[in-house]
């Protein structure tokens, strides 16, 4: 560790010299109000310097009850990340006048309360990881501007985001309470035979940028016969609709809230910030949204629960570089269930009609639509929530609900159809990365986030349009998890085991002191890592006892 005097002397000695002299700043500096840790200095004025600011927990002043439970600890770090981003945007959004550099950067949080790697909290301190652009003039070190960056800009951001006194207590505790209440509701779902809970008063329609609820939107409510009350750790019980396990069909006129409810239920795998409108729309952690993805690849996917094998087609091990539209949804369902999903969400607006209605036939004429097999899926522990207007789905469903005016009602169905079909969960697949090319340029292993639901692996761009990714920090974490998973993809571990281990390794690496990539990461599910691997055209999945995948059938 070095003192503030050492920092100032180092800057003075480097002033006016080539930019490379900034390398001398790599150190831990104990300043009057915080500790500044410079882990990695940029090579030139176009780069970014990795820094950390650390404030002793006692000096930060956050009461113990703000991080006394896992839910509150995650929510507090999430809130600090938000305030740090807002303050950096206020104080360090643009270069210091007459210089190049001086900006600060931390990933912008979205609407979800997530376990974020940019903020660490230990029994001794709170720490924020970020990057800053060191100021220069004509490619030379500018000591005065760097002092302004550290002692004015960074200091102001620290004061406004890393000290309890900077927060309005009611807003801080509301953020923590909302997350803790939502987590508690999620833990109660299975005990009550529910897969999701939608609180009365929730605002489901979203603004175009998805960063806030739609203005003047109608609030959600449910018929009293559907209402359940959830006791929560903070505040009075919360009333709303408890969506039951099994096969549920959601019907009603268009533009009355069916699709936005399905979207909200899927997004409910994560908690949401106060004011989002979906604070208490909570679903089971393994929910998966399935849509039609014609042209996506498949490797050894078991579709035997939906269709029978023929002489030329092995339904238990489907392999192809381009899956037709109806089969793409069945593929996604099988893959999600393989990864432990207990809720499949479907919306006929984004689904091939054949998947919901009896219509697409295998060569021998046997094919089970999701409507027909949905009840069996529910009995096996995989619930289905389907937005539909199809009579077959309605008559096969265990439960039918109508959305009208953003209000949910129960529907009695005459002539309900019973199905004696069985749903058999797919056996694990074992991934092999040997045939996957991760090389790009000089990098032998290159993975990066292109957009929220597109990841580049080597030269190959892979999209998973309905992965539960709502924040670029999640996608960056997923891309790095894939790089870690690559080493384990040798056929010895199942896809679930490989992805769980990759996420665990990523979290362990992020918790290490001096990790410069942790700031870009946020919580990601192993099943979403698997979704991208499964969609890579070069991935090879094998089934133990079956040997190599069958040849493509189309």
Per-residue model confidence as pLDDT tens digits over 197-208? 999 999 999 998
Q: Is the pLDDT of residue 27 over 80?
A: yes
User: How many independent structural domains does the chain possess?
Assistant: 3
Tell me the residue range of the domain where 264 lies.
178-286+342-427
Question: Looking at residue 366, what is its pLDDT?
Answer: 60
Say what the pLDDT of residue 478 is: 98
Whether residue 551 lies inside any domain: the answer is no
- Is position 311 within any domain? no
Closest CA to 110 of 273, 261, 269: 273
19-28, 363-372, 480-489, 519-528: segment of lowest average pLDDT: 363-372
The answer to the question of residue 315 being in a domain is no
Domain shared by 467 and 505, yes or no: yes
Neighbours of 140 (CB within 10 A): 15
- CATH number for 255: 3.40.50
Same domain, yes or no: 412 and 437: no
Asked whether the predicted pLDDT for residue 385 surpasses 70, the reply is yes
On the question of pLDDT at 47 being above 80, the answer is yes
Same domain, 406 and 264: yes
Which pLDDT tens digit goes with each residue over 264-320?
999 999 999 999 999 999 999 999 999 999 999 999 999 999 988 888 889 999 999
* Banded pLDDT at 88 (limits 50, 70, 90): very high
Residue 129 lies in a domain: yes
Instruction: Tell whether 374 is covered by a domain.
Output: yes
Burial zone of 209 (CB within 10 Å; 0-12 exposed, 13-18 middle, 19+ buried): exposed
* pLDDT at residue 358, rounded to an integer: 62
Helical pair 325-338 and 526-534, crossing angle rounded to 10 deg: 140
**Would the pLDDT of 548 be above 60?**
no
The pLDDT tens digits for 138-175 are 999 999 999 999 999 999 999 999 999 999 999 999 99
255 with 122, same domain: the answer is no
3-state secondary structure of 46: coil
Looking at the structure, do residues 50 and 138 belong to the same domain, yes or no? yes
- Among 377, 408, 427, the domain-final residue is 427
Tokens 């629960």, residue? Answer: 305
Q: Assess if residue 309 is contained within a domain.
A: no
188 and 49 in a single domain? The answer is no
Distance CA 188, CA 171 (A): 26
In this prediction, what percent of the chain has a pLDDT beyond 70?
A: 96
Residue 299 lies in a domain: no
pTM, to two decimals = 0.94
Residue 364 pLDDT more than 90? no
**Tokens, residue 7:** 């920092």
Q: Is 299 exposed, middle or buried (0-12, 13-18, 19+ CB in 10 A)?
A: buried
Residues 375, 230, single domain; the answer is yes
Q: In this structure, are 142 and 193 located in the same domain?
A: no
- Write down which residue in 427, 447, 465 finishes a domain: 427
Residue 58 forms part of a structural domain: yes
Task: Give buried/exposed letters for 86-109 (b at 16+ CB in 10 A, else e).
Answer: bbbeebbeebbeebbbbbbbbbeb
Q: Are residues 144 and 247 in the same domain?
A: no
Residue where a domain terminates, one of 167, 202, 228:
167
Based on the fold, state whether residues 140 and 105 are members of the same structural domain.
yes
């Amino acid at each position: 560790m070095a003192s503030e005097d050492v920092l100032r002397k180092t800057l003075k000695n480097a002033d006016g010299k080539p930019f490379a002299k900034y390398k001398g700043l790599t150190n831990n500096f104990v300043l009057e109000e915080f500790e500044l840790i410079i882990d990695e200095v940029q090579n030139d004025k176009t780069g970014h310097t990795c820094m950390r600011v650390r404030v002793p927990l006692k000096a930060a002043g956050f009461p113990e009850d703000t991080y006394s439970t896992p839910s509150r600890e995650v929510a507090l770090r999430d809130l600090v990340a938000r305030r740090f981003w807002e303050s950096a945007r206020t104080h360090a959004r643009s270069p210091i006048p007459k210089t190049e550099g001086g900006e600060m950067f931390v990933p912008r949080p979205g609407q979800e309360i997530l376990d974020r790697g940019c903020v660490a909290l230990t029994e001794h301190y709170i720490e924020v990881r970020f990057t800053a652009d060191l100021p220069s003039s004509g490619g030379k070190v500018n000591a005065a501007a760097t002092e302004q960056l550290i002692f004015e800009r960074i200091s102001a951001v620290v004061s406004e985001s890393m000290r309890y006194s900077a927060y309005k207590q009611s807003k801080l505790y509301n953020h923590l309470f909302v997350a803790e209440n939502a987590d508690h509701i999620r833990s109660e779902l299975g005990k009550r035979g529910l897969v999701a809970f939608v609180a009365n008063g929730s605002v489901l329609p979203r603004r175009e940028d998805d960063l806030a609820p739609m203005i003047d939107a109608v609030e959600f409510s449910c018929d009293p016969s559907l209402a359940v009350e959830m006791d929560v750790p903070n505040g009075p019980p919360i009333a709303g609709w408890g969506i039951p396990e099994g096969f549920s069909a959601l019907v009603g006129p268009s533009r009355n809230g069916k699709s936005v409810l399905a979207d909200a239920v899927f997004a409910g795998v994560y908690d949401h910030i106060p004011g989002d409108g979906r604070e208490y729309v909570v679903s089971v952690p393994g929910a998966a949204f399935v849509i039609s993805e014609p042209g996506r690849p498949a490797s050894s996917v078991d579709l035997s629960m939906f269709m029978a094998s023929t002489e030329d087609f092995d339904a238990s091990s489907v392999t192809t570089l381009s899956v037709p539209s109806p089969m793409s949804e069945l593929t996604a369902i099988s893959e999600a269930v393989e990864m432990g999903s207990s809720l499949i969400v479907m919306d006929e607006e984004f689904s091939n009609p054949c998947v919901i209605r009896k219509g697409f036939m295998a060569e021998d004429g046997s094919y089970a639509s999701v409507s027909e097999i949905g009840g069996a899926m529910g009995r096996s522990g995989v619930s289905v929530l389907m937005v539909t207007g199809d009579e077959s789905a309605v008559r096969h469903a265990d439960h039918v609900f109508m959305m009208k005016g953003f209000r949910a009602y129960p529907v009695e169905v005459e002539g309900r159809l019973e199905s004696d079909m069985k749903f058999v969960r797919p056996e694990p697949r074992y991934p092999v990365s040997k045939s996957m090319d991760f090389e790009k340029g000089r990098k032998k292993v290159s993975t990066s986030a292109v957009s929220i639901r597109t990841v580049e692996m080597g030269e190959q761009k892979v999209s998973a349009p309905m992965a539960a990714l709502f924040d670029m920090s999640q996608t960056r974490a997923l891309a790095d998890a894939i790089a870690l998973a690559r080493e384990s993809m040798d056929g010895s571990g199942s896809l679930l085991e490989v992805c769980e281990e990759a996420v665990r390794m990523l979290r362990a690496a992020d918790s290490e002191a001096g990790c410069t990539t942790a700031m870009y990461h946020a919580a990601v599910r192993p099943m979403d890592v698997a979704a991208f691997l499964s969609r890579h055209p070069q991935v090879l999945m094998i089934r133990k006892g079956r040997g190599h995948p069958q040849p493509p059938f189309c």
